[in-house]
Amino acid sequence: MAVSRTVIKRVLAVETEEGAGARVRRSIGSANLRNLSPFLMLDHFHVSKGAGFPDHPHRGQATVTYMLEGSSRHEDSAGHAGTIEAGGVQWMCAGKGIIHAEMPVHAPGVPEPRGLQLWVDLPKEPCIVRLLMVTSFRKSLISNSIPVAHPNGPESSISVRVISGKSHGVESPVRPLGGCWFFHVTMRKSGDEMVQDIPAGWTSFIYLWKGSITVGDDGSINEKFHTLVLSNQSEETGARITATSDDTEFVLYNAYFIDRLSLIPLFYAFHLFPYIAFVLFGICVRISHSILIPDNYSGDSGHVYFIQHSALCFLLLSNLGGGWECAMDTSKAIQRHGCQNEGATANEFTAPDIPSGSLASTRAWRATGMHTLVSIRDSAIA
C-alpha cells in the first residue's frame, strides 16, 4: 500500500470582495500562503446579480476556471468569447498578455454562479522571453465530457471527476499546461475512503468546500473552506483521504514543482523591500518595453503603455512567483473612460491603429500605495 501524504499546512480561505462586487475566498495568493509553486492563486468565487470581474490583464500564466454552479461568460482582447456552464472547465493560457472579462449569467431558476479559479505558472523555458511571447489560447470541456472514476466500484458512494490527469484507471482527454492533475471528489457518506496516486516530487493540495476530511494517518479533522497543503516526501506516492461527514466535496490539485532560480532574488526583494522591488520592476519593464510596443503597431492588442512610474507593470508581475498581489489591487481601480483614480494624472500613449470605442478603450490600474496608473488600450472584441 502506498505511503500517504499528510497535511503540513492549513489555510482558511476568508471571504472578501473582489472585482466589481464579487465575493471570493482566496487561499493561495493570500498573506497566509503567497504561492505554492507552480500554483499562484486559488479563488472560490460567488458572483451575485450586478457583480462580476470586469476587464483585467493576465500574462505568463495559465488560469483554470471550473464552474460548480451557474454559468459565467468570458470575452477577451484576442476575440475569444463563450460561456462556461455548471460542471464545465476552461483553461486559458495568457502567454504574452491578454485582457479579459468574466461576468455572470443569470436566469430564472438557475443558481448564482459559483466556481473555482486557479492560476498556474507556465512551465520553465530556456528563455523567459519565449515564454512571455506565446500567443494566448483557450481550451474548454463541457460537463458531460469530463470522465468519472469510481475508486471503490460503480455502486460506491465515492466519485472522482477527472478534469485533468488520471485517477483509478480513468484519464482526462485534456493535457493541460504544466501537466496539472485536477480532480473533483464527492464522498456521500461519512467513513468513505479513497487513495489517490500522486507522482513523487509533485506539489499537491486539497481545497474543501463541503463536509470534512482527514488525510493520511493524521487524525486531525479538516473543515470546509480550508486549503490543505500536502507533504512531499520521496516515499509518499499518494494520498489517503477519509470523509468524516456526509456529503463531502473537495478538489485535489497536483503538479510538478517549477523552480525559477533566476527569480529568487527578485522574489525576496519584493516581499522584504517593496520599494526596492519597484525599481527592479522598472528594469524589467524597460527591457520588455521594446518588445511590447512594436506589437501594438502591428495590430496586436492588450499590451501596456507605461506612464508616470514605468517601474510598475502588472502584466509582468505574474512571472514573479506569487508577488503580484502585494503590488496591485486591480479590481477596485478599473476606470472605463480615463485615468481619474484618486486625482492622479497620467499621459496616455496610444498606437494610431488601435480603434477607439472598443469594449476596453481606456482602463487604468492603480498600484496599491503608489497611486501609479497604467493605461491600456485594446482592439474591439468580436
Residue range 215-246, pLDDT digits in tens: 999 889 999 999 999 999 989 999 999 999 99
Indicate whether 86 and 112 sit together in one domain: yes
**pLDDT at position 371, please?**
28
| pLDDT single digits (tens) 307-364 | 223 333 444 443 443 333 333 333 333 333 233 333 333 333 232 332 333 333 223 3
Domain-embedded: residue 382: no
Same domain assignment for residues 11 and 108: yes
3-class DSSP state for residue 286? helix
Same domain, 247 and 187: yes
Reported as a single tens digit per residue, the pLDDT across 243-273 is: 999 999 999 999 988 765 544 444 444 444 4
Q: What is the pLDDT of residues 8-21, one digit of tens each?
A: 999 999 999 998 89
Q: Are residue 155 and residue 233 in the same domain, yes or no?
A: yes
pLDDT of residue 125: 53
Q: Is the Cβ–Cβ distance between 124 and 321 less than 8 Å? A: no
Average pLDDT, the chain: 72
Query: Does 381 reside within a domain?
Result: no
Using pLDDT thresholds of 50, 70 and 90, give the confidence band for residue 133: low
d(CA 129, CA 134) in angstroms, rounded, equals 9
Based on the fold, state whether residues 118 and 67 are members of the same structural domain.
yes
Give yes or no: residues 326 and 180 share one domain: no
Q: What angle do CA 164, 255, 233 make, to 5 degrees?
A: 130
Tens digits of residue pLDDT in 78-125: 777 889 999 999 988 877 778 878 988 988 888 999 999 999 887 655
Both 304 and 160 in one domain: the answer is no
Measured between alpha carbons, how far is 234 from 347 in angstroms, rounded to an integer? Answer: 54
Whether 299 maps to a domain, the answer reads yes
* Domain, as residue range, for 219: 3-256
Q: What percent of the chain has pLDDT over 70?
A: 63
Same domain, 219 and 282: no
Residues 134, 227 within the same domain: yes
pLDDT tens-digit series, residues 345-361: 333 323 233 233 333 32
- Exposure string of 334-360, with b = 16+ CB inside 10 Å and e = fewer, is beeeebebeeeebeeeebeebeeeeeb
CA distance 321 to 226: 22
pTM of the model: 0.69
Spatial CB neighbours of 312, under 8 Å, sequence gap ≥ 6: 278, 281, 282, 285, 327, 328, 367, 370, 372, 374
Residue that finishes a domain, picked among 256, 273, 308:
256
Residues 6+ apart with CB under 8 A from 279: 311
What is the C-alpha to C-alpha distance for residues 319 and 331, in angstroms, rounded to an integer? 19
Whether 227 and 314 map to the same domain: the answer is no
